[in-house]
Amino acid sequence: MSELEWKPQKNSSVPLHQQISDFMKKKILNGEWTIGTKIPPQRNLANLFQVNRSTIVIALEELAADGLIESKVGSGTRVTNNTWSLLASNPPPDWFSYVKSGIHKPNITIIQEINKAEADPNMVRLGTGELSPKLLPNKIMGQTLQIDGEQSLSLGYMEPKGSLSLRKTVSAYLRTKGIEASPESILIVSGGLQALQLISLGLLNRGSTILHETPSYLNSVHVFQSSGMNLLGISMDKEGIKCDSIGRMKRQHHAALLYTIPTFHNPTGTLMSEQRRMELIDVCQKASIPIIEDDVYGDLWIENPPPKPLKANDTQGNVLYIGSVSKTLSPGLRIGWIVGPEPVINRLADIKMQTDYGSSSLSQYAVEKWLSSGMYEEFLTEIRTELKYRRDFTIKILNEYFSKIATWSIPKGGFYIWLRLESDISTKKLFDLALREHILLNPGMVYEKNDFNHLRLSYSFASLEQLEEGLIRLSQLIKTLS
Ligand SMILES: Cc1ncc(COP(=O)(O)O)c(C=O)c1O
């Protein structure tokens, strides 16, 4: 209810309060606002509908007079009736108790707030993990999708592992990274997130423990926790995840998997060194713990290509490798891949068939075109130049305005700068304060629940003007709270 498209028409002959009460009545009578639905406070409604509070008071009085809503001191105003339930002998279902049930956990509140705020076009998004809409290749994508009848676009269901021609193309693309993977060992998925979802559903028992870097992207989604798994964080240094405790953790907690983002880690931007990669592969092999390597940022290096993925040095089939075009070509296409031993890929493909019967054939067609024609590589070259400019621009602002209040490292690729605030101010308070000024932040607690002094900044999304103005204002807000 906090994000209504509809607004009353100020130039209509129907009074505003009447338009609002009619609109709300319709929502209640057709069951969109079920019995028990909380009506926002009058001030919020006035903001939502962009009218005076007195207009809201009259509209609500009308609904109350019709017996549709009721106000109670302490619990606010709720929907109490609809015509249907007055006539029906059985009460309508209590959707609120259903909503509280269900296997999947809800997002943590701050992520729900971020997701909601991201829909506001006026928001200055200083932490968003995607390319700015201006950097996405809309025009060329439009041309790519101008398909004539001769071409091999299938509008039918695809093979269980995804389009064979795309898998062949992905196989060739992976070879450029040093990964030998035949099309049979590749599963096309609807983004890296679905790869994680399939692993959690298909390979692990409830109660299993997943080791991961702390902080981690993994804490910002509930894929593993919702399947009854525990997450256990391992600290990082400048070279990536620390390896010395992995064997012990595996034994003590019977850890089932280790999840890592070695290249341009989300949220810290860390690039795992070559030596640490070798050490990690070795330690995990000795401890018999398989690795999930999440490489969705791997193509986004700035000056120099990163060391080869872990998967390139995995001769034992110990690594499940995840890639995606979401951070490069288009998050909206929802195309990624997972590479691993065939029995694992077969199992995950089987679950995917039970879940969605395959990723969009149109998206698979588009990604295949980009990868196989060389357009993807050309596009990456442009994006790397752009990201370098944006990163340097952002670092310059940080040097100027944040040197006394925060510390950071300069990322060698990806999108993120992990900003550590020097003072003990609450980053939640900062988040709320900034949001009121239409500046959206990604506080550290999203990636590690006890982290209260980091912000994940992103130089990929906001425009340069927004980055500059937003960061300068942010530095002032931090100083106000210190
Ligand atoms: C490390 C990591 N893995 C996976 C994803 C999800 O990617 P996709 O959009 O391809 O599902 C993200 C998105 O933020 C991410 O940062």
Ligand 1 center from residue 192 Cα (angstroms):
5
Nearest CA, atom 4, ligand 1: 192
Give 84's pLDDT tier (boundaries 50, 70, 90).
low
Give 290's pLDDT tier (boundaries 50, 70, 90).
very high
Architecture of domain 153-373: 3-Layer(aba) Sandwich (3.40)
Indicate if the alpha-carbon torsion angle 84, 86, 87, 88 is positive or negative. Answer: positive
CA-331 nearest atom, ligand 1: 9
| Domain 109-129+379-481 and domain 153-373 have a common topology | no
Nearest CA, atom 10, ligand 1: 191
Instruction: Write down the pLDDT at residue 157.
Output: 93
Instruction: Write down the pLDDT at residue 276.
Output: 98
Ligand 1 center from residue 224 Cα (angstroms):
14
Please check the confidence at residue 93 and state whether its pLDDT lies above 90: no
Ligand 1 center from residue 268 Cα (angstroms):
14
The C-alpha atoms of residue 215 and residue 199 are separated, in whole angstroms, by 21
Please check the confidence at residue 87 and state whether its pLDDT lies above 80: no
Backbone angles phi, psi at 186, to 5 degrees: -120, 135
Does ligand 1 come within 6 angstroms of the Cβ of 188?
Answer: no
Ligand 1 center from residue 194 Cα (angstroms):
9
Does ligand 1 come within 6 angstroms of the Cβ of 460?
Answer: no
Does ligand 1 come within 6 angstroms of the Cβ of 471?
Answer: no
CB 108 within 8 A of CB 446: yes
CA angle 314–263–311, rounded 5-degree value: 10
Give 151's pLDDT tier (boundaries 50, 70, 90).
low
Q: For a ligand 1 pocket test, name from 213, 326, 460 the mutation site with the most ligand atoms within 8 angstroms of its C-beta.
A: 326
Mean pLDDT of the chain: 94
The C-alpha atoms of residue 305 and residue 86 are separated, in whole angstroms, by 67
Does ligand 1 come within 6 angstroms of the Cβ of 294?
Answer: yes
Instruction: Write down the pLDDT at residue 88.
Output: 60
Ligand 1 center from residue 296 Cα (angstroms):
6
Does ligand 1 come within 6 angstroms of the Cβ of 129?
Answer: yes
Q: What is the CATH number of domain 109-129+379-481?
A: 3.90.1150.10
Ligand 1 center from residue 338 Cα (angstroms):
13
* Amino acid, single-letter form, for residue 434: A
**Token couple for 22:** 């009619």
Rg, C-alpha atoms of the chain: 25
Please check the confidence at residue 320 and state whether its pLDDT lies above 90: yes
Nearest CA, atom 13, ligand 1: 129
Does ligand 1 come within 6 angstroms of the Cβ of 193?
Answer: yes
Ligand 1 center from residue 335 Cα (angstroms):
11
Does ligand 1 come within 6 angstroms of the Cβ of 323?
Answer: no
* Amino acid, single-letter form, for residue 457: L
Strands, sheet with 69-72, edge to edge from the N-terminal-most edge strand: 38-39, 76-79, 69-72
- Specify the CATH class of 16-100 in words: mainly alpha
Does ligand 1 come within 6 angstroms of the Cβ of 268?
Answer: no
CB 262 within 8 A of CB 310: yes
Does ligand 1 come within 6 angstroms of the Cβ of 216?
Answer: no
Backbone angles phi, psi at 365, to 5 degrees: -60, -45
Does ligand 1 come within 6 angstroms of the Cβ of 260?
Answer: no
Q: How many CB atoms lie within 10 A of CB 87?
A: 7
Does ligand 1 come within 6 angstroms of the Cβ of 458?
Answer: no
Query: How confident is the model over 100-113, as pLDDT tens digits?
Result: 888 888 998 999 99
Does ligand 1 come within 6 angstroms of the Cβ of 31?
Answer: no
CB 234 within 8 A of CB 214: yes
CB 324 within 8 A of CB 177: no
Ligand 1 center from residue 189 Cα (angstroms):
12
Domain boundaries, the chain: 16-100, 109-129+379-481, 153-373
Please check the confidence at residue 140 and state whether its pLDDT lies above 90: yes
**How distant, in Å, are the alpha carbons of 168, 202, 343, 476 from that of 184?**
9, 18, 10, 54
- Three-state SS letters, the chain: CCCCCCCCCCCCCCCHHHHHHHHHHHHHHCCCCCCCCEECCHHHHHHHHCCCHHHHHHHHHHHHHCCCEEEECCCEEEECCCHHHHHCCCCCCCHHHHHHCCCCCCCCHHHHHHHHHHCCCCCEECCCCCCCHHHCCHHHHHHHCCCCCCCCCCCCCCCCCCCHHHHHHHHHHHHCCCCCCCHHHEEEECCHHHHHHHHHHHCCCCCCEEEEECCCHHHHCCHHHHCCCEEEEECEECCEECCCCHHHHHHHHCEEEEEECCCCCCCCCCCCCHHHHHHHHHHHHHCCCCEEEECCCCCCECCCCCCCCHHHHCCCCCEEEEEECCCCCCCCCCCEEEECCHHHHHHHHHHHHHHCCCCCHHHHHHHHHHHHHCHHHHHHHHHHHHHHHHHHHHHHHHHHHCCCCEECCCCCECCEEEEEECCCCCHHHHHHHHHHCCEECEEHHHCCCCCCCEEEEECCCCCHHHHHHHHHHHHHHHHHHC
Q: For a ligand 1 pocket test, name from 114, 194, 217 the mutation site with the most ligand atoms within 8 angstroms of its C-beta.
A: 217
Please check the confidence at residue 65 and state whether its pLDDT lies above 80: yes
Mean pLDDT of 36-61: 94
**Token couple for 100:** 């509280």
Does ligand 1 come within 6 angstroms of the Cβ of 326?
Answer: yes
Ligand 1 center from residue 195 Cα (angstroms):
10
Mean pLDDT of 31-55: 92
Mean pLDDT of 312-330: 96
Ligand 1 center from residue 311 Cα (angstroms):
18
Instruction: Write down the pLDDT at residue 95.
Output: 85
Closest by CA position to 309, among listed 415, 180, 169, 213: 180
Query: How confident is the model over 193-228, as pLDDT tens digits?
Result: 999 999 999 999 999 999 999 999 999 999 999 999
